[in-house]
A and B are shown apart, each in its own frame.
Chain A
Amino acid sequence: MTGVAVHLDGLRRTFGAVQALDDLDLSIEPGELVALLGPSGCGKTTALRILAGLEEVTAGRVLVGGKDVTRLPANKRGMGMVFQAYSLFPHLSALQNVEFGLRLRSLRQTSAKAREMLALVGLENEATRYPHQLSGGQQQRVALARALAIEPQVLLLDEPLSALDAKVRVQLRDEIRRIQTEVGTTTLFVTHDQEEALAIADRVGVMRAGRLEQLATPSEVYLRPATAFVADFVGLSNRLPGTVTGGTVEVLGHRLPLVTPHTGGAVTALIRPEAIEAVPDPDSAARVLTSSFLGSLSRVTVAVDDHLVVAQVPSGRLPELAPGTPVRITIQPVAVALE
């Protein structure tokens, strides 16, 4: 199975007065996994459904493997899809569900192929079970096996993990990545969970109001957010006042580089909690307000002048940062985005 390139070219989609997609351009390389990330109503699911052929476009083109499929019905597109809602056919067993698409194509040895796919998702022993006898995670794995069985040109995953509990979600997320890398199918993954998108994707597309704000590798999206919206949506950010002079911004007495150049003046800088360090200092006027334990890492909120600054610290240091402790704030010189 080899992947094909996908191009969404100037896609527009309106629902009455609502503009769900506004000139969306997106290119996915063969075999690549791109995650579309964004808040509810940003158009990410609409983009995926248009690629699947389940939604019509108002304007624009969909190219798969260089072929224009914009007007092709969903059943002729050869796309494998896993839905947010459990979509297994309730009257068919796990094996029969996986065989469904194969039988429609009148392929030989459908049973053997379906069993192979169930083995790929680790459910070869559950072949005779019906959907209501499977857990949510198992159902989504069968749905993944069913989507991959037809050897799709493109695999479409529409928030497939959102109905699952946290532990299963992480397991299945890693498994999806493993399988996708193994079979090499070009994949579009839609999610509103930033951690999921950053963990699974080759590139992450952050969407807002029907447009792509940034399309880049997970580390770039996280460390060098192109816009304030991306910085704010992906990860937690402190909003701190600063002054731009000579291509850098000064925040709380620290001079920091900028992600994008700015003409100068008073600005609001967006700084990640992990770029901020809090060290006990009896001479400092800054005080720890609250601290929260989050596992291996913890967060402390520090009052500096009139501002609240959230810093991320190793949990081992939490005892020395009790509320009321005077602390000194230092900011690492990583590039920051401005609001």
Chain B
Amino acid sequence: MARVIFRWTVLTVMGVFFLLPLVAMVEFSTRDPRTWPLLVDWPRLSAEYPALAEGILASLAQAALTSVLMLVLLVPTAVWVRLRLPGLRRLVEFLCLLPLTIPAIVLVVGLAPVYAWVNYLIGGSSLTLVFAYTILVLPYAYRAIDTGLSAIDVKTLAEAARSLGAGWTTVIWRVVLPNIRSAVLSAAFLTVALVLGEFTIASLLHRTNLQVAIEYLGKSSATVSVAVSLAALLLAFVLLLVLSLAGSSKKGKTS
């Protein structure tokens, strides 16, 4: 009985701790009844808050491009390491996990001179953040993809496909990728969630994205800023929910 009480006490305290700020956000953002309808009315939103609209579009484009770049880099690398360079697996894992241990502010200090060249060579578009974000998402994406590859016998499948006449591109595209689909989805969703919530690097490198736009907006229109933050949070929740559903449906299929 005492354990049940303890369990419910902990759950209640945790629930209040997490939910209270969200409830406060809902309460605050609904004080003005025009706020939420504005968020689903894109023409009006972009007319009234052009910086916010620009930030949303930039973040969506960054999320999509980062996902693509991450997959193009990571999937062939992870497959190749498993097939041909198993001795390097630890090193690659270590390198991919490094960004987790480096604070964003330190990363920016290192990236600033690189971005000076990026500015010079391809301009200062907010999309150039994709390069930094690809590094930032490596720890999460690598883990997801590596777990997916562990679930299948990559070596035998690749060798079977090779003996049937498949080149390496075909092996990865038609044999490996379809069998690590849920791992790829996980990596992509984590990337999207991370990019949509990124503020430090964008702000310090003077680029725009959703979080930078929200921060600016907070100074002039606090209600809209909080409503957009809440909407972004909900989107991330939905993505993570889809991710866990994709994971559990895969488990059901293989059992």
Contacts and interface: CB of A to CB of B under 8 A. Distances in A.
Interface in A42-86: 52-54, 73-81, 83, 85-86
Interface in B62-107: none
A54 B166 CA distance: 13
B45 interface: no
Interface in A116-160: 132, 143, 146-147, 150, 156
B165 A78 contact: yes
Contacts of B156: 83, 85-87
A89 B179 contact: yes
B157 interface: yes
Contact of A105 (B153, B159, B165): B165
Contacts of B175: 89
A77 B175 CA distance: 20
Contacts of A91: 178-179
B150 interface: no
B163 A81 contact: yes
A54 B162 contact: yes
A77, A83, A143, A147: most-surrounded residue (chain B CB, <10 A): A83
A252 to B, nearest CB: 51
A75 B159 contact: no
Contacts of B178: 89, 91
Contact of B157 (A75, A80, A89, A146): A89
Given A54-B159, A91-B178, A75 B153 contact: no
B162 A90 contact: no
Contacts of A79: 163
Interface in B141-178: 152-153, 156-157, 159-167, 170, 175, 178
B254 interface: yes
A52 B161 contact: no
A71 to B, nearest CB: 15
B6 to A, nearest CB: 43
A101 interface: yes
Nearest to A104: B165
B164 A100 contact: yes
Contact of A75 (B165, B179, B253): B165
Contact of B164 (A73, A85, A150): A150
Given A83-B159, A83-B160, A91-B179, A75 B254 contact: no
B163 A85 contact: no
Central interface residue in B157, B165, B170, B179, by most chain A CB within 10 Å: B165
Contacts of B157: 87, 89
Contact of A87 (B153, B165, B179): B153
A93 to B, nearest CB: 13
A185 to B, nearest CB: 14
A91 B170 CA distance: 15
A89 B166 CA distance: 13
Interface of B: 152-153, 156-157, 159-167, 170, 175, 178-179, 253-254
